[in-house]
Amino acid sequence: MFSVIIAAHDEAAVIERCLRSIVAGAEPEELEVVVVAYGCSDDTAARARGIAGPVKVVEIPGRSKAEALNRGDEEAGHFPRMYIDADIVVEIDALREVASLLSDDSPVLVAAPEPEFDTEGRPALVRSFYRVWSSLPFFTENLVGAGFYAMSKEGRARFGKFPELIGEDGFVRLTVAPHERRSARGSTFRISAPRGLWSMMERMTRVRAGKTELHEKFPELLKNETTRPRRSLRIIAESPDLWPHAPVYLGVMGLAKVVSTVQRLTGRSPR
């Protein structure tokens, strides 16, 4: 048996889709799902309670995702333990594959399925960005994060409570060495791409701010980082099929870096 924790803030539009994808096909006593609805002003909790299956819903005040994740840990009773964003779609077979990677005697401590980006109906510039981003080492070499990460009992013991961070998924990924994290090859989860260029810019600005904050607060974790900007640039330079899309990717990431820096200097970093 394994546990799934979903920290959800105002996710009424997507929480039912997420939960249905998880519980469909699950065997009795195979998993437990804990939804922590935190600081919601909509009916996220009520919609989650309406899903038939092994779903437990907890409501807490405040808008701290870290607090919600820590409460989820208190409520969950099993390992492996999977932490999933409410806006993704993942099926039970992918969860089973991840759980198999995180058995008690496995050297793998942190794992996730491979991401698939749903760019249908998105503008050409958004599709170009994801064409490049999904080809880089962050996604192709044992990605853990981007809406889904799972830990064995030993992996979860690498740190205490979740810290207050913009990007806690990056923190989790770097708490283990590269050889201790693994993507479940052939198993996927689906992420919906932003619907416009500005929304994508906001998302990338938050990603950049989270990375900067993580490096400042936990510099000792950098030893476990394998993705470097120079390496990504080299991959783009050596991949002619990416050249038509590279200006969009480089422009968005460059502007996101500038905006996140300005936000940080003026005390307006995103949460």
Task: Evaluate if residue 271 carries a pLDDT over 70.
Answer: no
The residue extents of the domains of the chain are: 2-126+135-195
* pLDDT over 70 (residue 270): no
β-pairing, 31-38 vs 55-60, is: parallel
Query: Mean of the pLDDT values across residues 204-223?
Result: 92
Q: How many CB atoms lie within 10 A of CB 12?
A: 18
pLDDT at 100: 95
pLDDT in tens, 111-158: 999 989 899 999 999 999 999 988 887 777 766 778 899 999 999 999
- The owner of tokens 């770097």 is 174
CATH code for the part of the protein at 2-126+135-195? 3.90.550.10
**pLDDT for residue 27:** 94
Residue 244: closest CA among 126, 133, 136, 128: 128
CA 123-128-129 angle, to 5 degrees, is 100
* Model confidence band, residue 246 (pLDDT cutoffs 50, 70, 90): very high
pLDDT band at 269 (very low <50, low <70, confident <90, very high): low
Mean pLDDT of the chain: 92
The separation between CA 1 and the C-alpha centre of its own chain, rounded to angstroms, equals 22
Tell me which DSSP letter residue 180 carries.
Answer: G
Q: Which H or E run includes 99?
A: helix 92-101
Q: Could you report the per-residue pLDDT of 155-213, keeping only the tens digit for each?
A: 999 999 999 998 899 999 999 999 999 988 889 999 888 889 899 999 999 988 998 99
| Proportion of the chain above pLDDT 70, given as a percent | 98
pLDDT digits (tens, 9 = 90+) for 71-117: 999 999 999 999 999 999 999 999 999 999 999 899 999 999 998 98
Per DSSP (E only), the strands in the chain are 2-8, 31-38, 55-60, 81-84, 88-90, 110-118, 148-151, 181-192
Of the candidates 150, 82, 169, 148, the one whose C-alpha atom is nearest the C-alpha of residue 111 is 150
3 state SS of 253: helix
Q: Is 80 exceeded by the pLDDT of residue 268?
A: no
On whether the CB atoms of residues 242 and 132 are closer than 8 A, the answer is: yes
